[in-house]
Chain A
């Protein structure tokens, strides 16, 4: 399978060339296969956001290379520009980046930059709006008249309208209430199922990552500390805690029961699954 994004021997320094120079990313190697859904976790300041800012050339590596769709993005102006359209980055609290007079104009900013025809731009805006659940009449409003959750979706629609091959979200659900959080994660899942695009989600929510990611990458101190399935990574709860992370409550419950010698698996990540296991167990015990 080919890679959507590959970084080779990537090193990046903050305040490069000054006495305060610190390595934010240290010789990282990483390949993200096309069509996968990858979660990136790590404490604040671990280097996650710095890492993903390299995926479409927002930051230039001090050492090493970044490949998007097999091409070294820093080899020419064209490849760099191309990477901006192939990899869509949606930052934390993207609603603060809305700036146009109408929601429509805001969502069309990206596709317009791609030099698409006005009809094509319109089509993409409508499609992205529909996908993110923004009603048609909202498109003529000022983005500042939308509610917080609607603004967030408008900002995400702006990135989706560029139809990037890879979508990278930095904390997409931060600050949302529980149902808003669930809806947003569902929206990203649906989008991926429909388009088959590659998705990278950076999050502090161990619950959300457990729910959606096929592969989890743990970034710690500018390096990749772990990389594997949810099972492989979440089974090291002590190491995760040392890195400022944790595992979901449901996982803590099952891992404790398992350690106490009860006949339950230690690796449970959803409440539904957990309840099913317990109900089966007491059903069997009664027979």
Chain B
């Protein structure tokens, strides 16, 4: 049986009304799920469905109003335990410009371990290793503001890796990137998951990114409304659309021309359609 890294049990999260009179609301209602060690989970849901709130609960930025989140058995009910959780689960946000603090790439990556009081020689080793795993080692002496969006996001990921976290939660990491930047970041995420066994939770609005996951969680109205493999989830096009989502173009094309099963990639679509046309011609 696979080992559970994060367990979310009956979690409700309520945003309190603020002093300026903004009304409070319930962002998550009685959510239960778990993330296994080494798993790659994608979370889908329209804007306001509760995805980002869930993400912030996974690394103890938020504390549940009701229910519990435990990370390797640790429930972050004190500051110290919160720090412990954040050492296991790191987070990468949407805007690359908001999460870089230093003026040199390698200093930025060293920021996390320095704060943890790690030995300088060990920091050096971790920073080099982290930068190599996101393919940014060659650029370690560059100034972050001169990097592209995709490169900045990879530096942010390296910063999380240098803390030796076991799990990375990425909240729409490619929303502001150009097509190449998006593909660089997704390749990096997949590689970390496959080669280093890092557990990945990816929150995204891009269906073609969710296809790469082992499991997809679909959220609406603060609840988990479906969960399954990408093939299971993306075979339900009408269901997804009724919740503000969609399916990848490859999947939709194959569905419309009557190909059985759920096609998830360009390569697979080309193959299936070629045999469909070939079969018809012959």
- What's the Cα separation between A147 and B94 when bound, in Å? 18
Interface range on chain B: under 10, 10 to 19, 20 to 34, or 35 or more?
A: 35 or more
Distance between Cα atoms of A278 and B276 in the complex (Å): 9
Q: State whether B46 touches A179 (Cβ < 8 A).
A: yes
Tell me whether B181 and A44 are in contact (CB under 8 A): yes
**Do the beta carbons of B22 and A271 come within 8 Å of each other?**
no
Say yes or no for B148: interface residue by CB 8 A criterion. Answer: yes
Q: Chain A residues near B48 (CB, 8 Å)?
A: 147-149
CB neighbours of A116 from chain B (8 A): none
Binds B, one of A61-69, A80-88, A158-166, A279-287: A279-287
- Least Cβ distance of B178 to chain A in Å? 4
State whether A246 touches B183 (Cβ < 8 A).
yes
Nearest Cβ distance between residue A71 and chain B, in whole angstroms?
34
B149 on the interface (CB 8 Å rule)? Answer: yes
A19 at the interface (CB under 8 A from B): no
Asked if B14 is at the interface (CB within 8 A of a chain A CB), the reply is: no
Chain A residues in 8 Å Cβ range of B256? 271-272, 275, 279
Q: Which B214-261 residues have a C-beta within 8 angstroms of A?
A: 241, 244-246, 248-250, 252-253, 256-257
Contact A257 B273 (CB under 8 A): yes
Tally of contact residues, A, Cβ under 8 A: 49
Contact B20 A144 (CB under 8 A): yes
Name which residue of chain B comes closest to A205, CB basis: B179
Closest CB-CB distance, B199 to chain A, in whole Å? 25
Q: How far, in Å, is A100 (CB) from chain B's closest CB?
A: 14
| A177-B47, A244-B181 as given contacts; A278 in contact with B244, CB under 8 Å | no
What DSSP secondary structure best describes chain A's contact surface?
helix
The reply to whether A176 and B252 form a contact with Cβ atoms under 8 Å apart is: no
Interface window among B67-75, B101-109, B131-139, B169-177: B169-177
How long is the Cα–Cα vector from A153 to B134 in the complex, in angstroms?
37
Cβ of B83 < 8 Å from any Cβ of A? no
Docked-complex contact A271 and B280, CB < 8 angstroms: no
Complex Cα–Cα for A246 and B182 (A):
11
B244 touching A177, Cβ below 8 Å: yes
- Which residues of chain A are near B84, meaning CB under 8 Å? none
- The distance from the CB of B202 to the nearest CB of chain A, in whole angstroms, is 15
Once A45-B148, A275-B253, A275-B257 are accepted as A-B contacts, the answer to whether A285 and B246 lie under 8 Å apart by CB is: no
Interface contact A179-B280, CB-CB below 8 Å: no
Chain B residues, CB < 8 A from A206? 179
Which residues between 236 and 287 of chain A lie within 8 Å of chain B, taking CB atoms? 241, 244-246, 248-250, 252-253, 256-257, 260, 262-264, 271-272, 274-275, 278-279, 281-282, 284-286
Q: Kindly state the separation between the CA atoms of A148 and B47 in the bound complex, as whole angstroms.
A: 7
Q: Which residues of A contact B182 (CB under 8 A)?
A: 204
A70 contacts B by Cβ under 8 Å:
no
Q: B269: CB under 8 A from chain A?
A: yes
Which residues in chain B, 1-57, are within 8 Å of chain A measured between CB atoms?
A: 20-23, 45-48
A147 contacts across to B, CB distance below 8 A? 47-48
Q: How far is the CA of A26 from the CA of B84 in the complex (A)?
A: 51
Q: Nearest CB to that of B241 among chain A residues?
A: A179
- Asked if A54 CB lies within 8 Å of chain B CBs, one says no
Contacts of A281 on B, CB cut-off 8 Å?
277, 280
A178 interface hit (Cβ, 8 Å): yes
CB distance from B186 to the nearest CB of A (A): 12
Q: Which residues on A are within 8 Å of B, measured CB to CB?
A: 42-45, 92, 142, 144-145, 147-149, 171, 174-181, 204, 206-207, 241, 244-246, 248-250, 252-253, 256-257, 260, 262-264, 271-272, 274-275, 278-279, 281-282, 284-286
